[in-house]
A and B are shown apart, each in its own frame.
Chain A
Amino acid sequence: MQACSIHSRVVKVFKRLLLVLGAAGAVGMLARVRGKGGVPPTSGGWRELEGPEFR
């Protein structure tokens, strides 16, 4: 009876651990996906607008 109770407690702790790890993973994934930035422009540069038409 006591062995069964210990086993049940271990399983409960294990399940909670899995839940916490899963939640942490999901939050991490969300932060990674949402925080994903653009790709830097690899060629070109900025030129001041000039001329009568400012182009």
Chain B
Amino acid sequence: MTTALVVGVGAVGTRAARQLIDTPGVDRLLLADRDDAQLTEVASAFGSDAQAVDFAPGDPIPSDVDVVVTALPTGVDHPIVTAAIAAGVPVASSEDEHEALEQLRVLDPNARGAGVAIGIGCGLAPGLVDALARHAASMFESVDEIKVARTGWAGPASVATVRHERRVPVRTWHDGTWREDHPHGDSLVWFPEPIGARDCRTVTGGTALLVDAFPGVARIGVQLGEPPKRARLRRRFGDEGEWGAARVEVWGRRDGGFDCTVYGVVERTAVAAGAVLAVVGARLAGALTPKLDRPGVHGLGALLDPVPFLAELAQRGVRAAAFEGVAVA
């Protein structure tokens, strides 16, 4: 009997919970959130498949839980991951802010020592793009550069993270070393239709996760699109959430020449992030095969084999595409 604990039932957590309920290998779902009204509403919507529990960051992990899935605002995951490592329970986290990711990466020796697999940055980007970069990189003899970009946000907490990332000094991986810089202006990035061209700015984001997964690649960059102005005043997020897109560009050498592979995906950001989070969680718990059991704290580029992951996501409606034509450098 597989039991998953979903902590945070906002835009992403609710969708991840739905995906986990729809996973045959998951028998029981526990839901936790600091907002009791939201928690009650979501738990009642899922019926007998889900049960609301009293759990908060810092609490010990309940004894019968096989995996913890977190979809929380920035910086809240650390005590949960610490408790999970102590309990020997794997975690799938949707954390995507660079300082919070660093705090989780620091736990890597603890997770390795405990033999626990922790997946971090389980969303659209970081997350799905890391797996797509791994997939694209497998087609090259050597990779010189990886560029990923995302436009779209899953909810108010996601918008706040994007605004913060675009405002603070940037750390990029350039010629095999970290380089710190102030945020530059935006440049156009071309996503699959119907998203098309969007202004994006270089941020730190999940760059470190890509560097972990591709230590031999000289240049790695992450870009984020501009969030809507005053979203809270203008309108509320609808039930279906905002459309988002991600793009992965891998440059390298193959067949004696310099070439590029470009992958992209368009989906409602919360839906894509929820599906990624749920699939990683289910595979960490062993409810989906192949089970993810590599001890340590990893991004998805290092944690999983991309092909079965992309196949599972495609079955759930999150499909990636390849750009065929003349890529823009």
Contact = CB atoms under 8 A, between A and B. Distances in A.
A19 B328 CA distance: 39
Interface in A13-55: 31, 33-49, 52-55
Contacts of B328: 38-41
B320 interface: yes
Contact of A46 (B139, B189, B321): B321
B325 A48 contact: no
Q: In this complex, which of B320, B321, B322 has the most chain A Cβ atoms within 10 angstroms of its Cβ?
A: B322
A37 B187 contact: yes
A7 B8 CA distance: 71
Interface residues of A, number: 22
Contact of B322 (A31, A35, A49): A49
A54 B136 CA distance: 10
B315 to A, nearest CB: 12
A41 B325 CA distance: 8
B188 A54 contact: no
A48 B319 contact: yes
Contacts of A34: 184-186
A48 B263 CA distance: 9
A53 B325 CA distance: 20
Interface stretch (B74-82, B161-169, B192-200, B205-213): B192-200
Interface in B145-203: 184-190, 192-193, 197, 199
Nearest to B135: A54
B187 A47 contact: no
Contacts of A55: 139, 322
A46 B327 contact: no
B55 interface: no
B193 A46 contact: yes
A40 B196 CA distance: 10
B307 interface: yes
Nearest to B313: A54
Closest 10 CB pairs of A and B: A44-B325, A34-B185, A37-B188, A46-B321, A46-B192, A38-B188, A54-B310, A43-B325, A49-B320, A48-B321
Interface of A: 31, 33-49, 52-55
Interface of B: 135, 139, 184-190, 192-193, 197, 199, 263-264, 306-307, 310-311, 314, 319-328
